[in-house]
Amino acid sequence: MSENINLTLKVWRQNGPDDKGHLGTYKAKDISTDMSFLEMLDVVNEQLTVEGKDPIAFDHDCREGICGMCGTVVNGLAHGPEPATTLCQLHMRHFKDGDTIVIEPWRARPFKIIRDLVVDRSSFDDIIQAGGYVSVNTGQAPEANSIPISQEKAELAMDAAACIGCGACAAACPNASAMLFVSAKISQLALLPQGRPEAARRALGMAKAMDECGFGNCSNERECEAVCPKEIKITNIARFNREFLKASFVSPQA
């Protein structure tokens, strides 16, 4: 049943990357439990605007859990308390009247804060540009049955391809490692025949870019897997490590 609740929000406010930042306290009044978390923030922002205060900056786009734009740390958990759920798909029925909710941005050194809860995730683009693609001839539709792929491989590749690049994995990791993200992007291509010709270059290039961006390494904490809204498995990290090792031994580029 739908009801209305009152909440206290403690929200990270920061005007820019060089600002010190602080936790601001706000009242969220009369919030319908049918609302999504972002709709609740919309209501608070509308109220702040009317009061002549700066609304809380936060990222969002599709609001249906598929684009990877939204995400904040809610009460210490990336994307909030529900498993396999992006922040936009988290509903207020999971909170109780009188609750205090602490809302913070993703924290990882490469994710510079742009404003409040908005962080710069262009480091993920840099990693993708270092090898997260396949080179194919365009112009004609290839014959669909010319490259047979087993069901098992196709399913594993699709599971890895479910990654939306939101950055929750890096934000949840005590080392601020982006290994879950990078391994998903490596795996979705490494598992398929189309990805094999460039596999060595890809593994070496993306690992190098990841290090250069300033992300830490994996120490098997599995925090990433726990918060991932798309349930990407850390077995992908094992595959990434194998791809990287293989490439390091045999590739002339290593």
Partner 1 sequence: MMIYPAIHYTMGGLWVDYNLMSTIPGLFVLGEANFSDHGSNRLGASALMQGLADGYFVIPYTIGGYLAGTVLPEVNEAHPAFEDSTKLVNEGIDKLLSIKGDRTVDDFHKELGHILWEYGGMSRNEIGMLKAKELIPELREQFWENVMVTGSPGEFNQTLERAGRVADFLEFSELLVEDGVSREESCGCHFNEAFQTEEHEAQRDDDSCSYVAAWEFRGTGKAPALHKEPLVFENVELAQRSYK
Q: Quick check: 46 binds partner 1 (CB under 8 A)?
A: yes
Q: Quick check: 144 binds partner 1 (CB under 8 A)?
A: no
Q: Quick check: 64 binds partner 1 (CB under 8 A)?
A: no
Binding-site size for partner 1 (CB under 8 A) equals: 19
Q: Quick check: 238 binds partner 1 (CB under 8 A)?
A: no
CB-nearer residue toward partner 1: 34 or 97: 34
Q: Quick check: 19 binds partner 1 (CB under 8 A)?
A: no
Q: Quick check: 21 binds partner 1 (CB under 8 A)?
A: no
CA distance linking residue 64 with residue 78, whole number of Å: 17
CB-nearer residue toward partner 1: 139 or 148: 139
Q: Quick check: 251 binds partner 1 (CB under 8 A)?
A: no
Within 26-45, the residues that bind partner 1 by CB under 8 A are 34, 42
CB-nearer residue toward partner 1: 30 or 34: 34
Q: Quick check: 198 binds partner 1 (CB under 8 A)?
A: no
CA distance linking residue 87 with residue 69, whole number of Å: 10
| Closest distance to partner 1 from the beta carbon of 137 (Å) | 9
CB-nearer residue toward partner 1: 118 or 200: 118
Cα-only R_g, the chain: 20
Among 135, 140, 146, 220, binds partner 1 (CB under 8 A): 140
| Closest distance to partner 1 from the beta carbon of 196 (Å) | 20
Closest CA to 208 of 238, 236, 248: 248
CA distance linking residue 87 with residue 99, whole number of Å: 18
Binding site for partner 1 (CB under 8 A): 15-16, 34, 42, 46, 49-50, 52-55, 57, 114-115, 118, 138-141
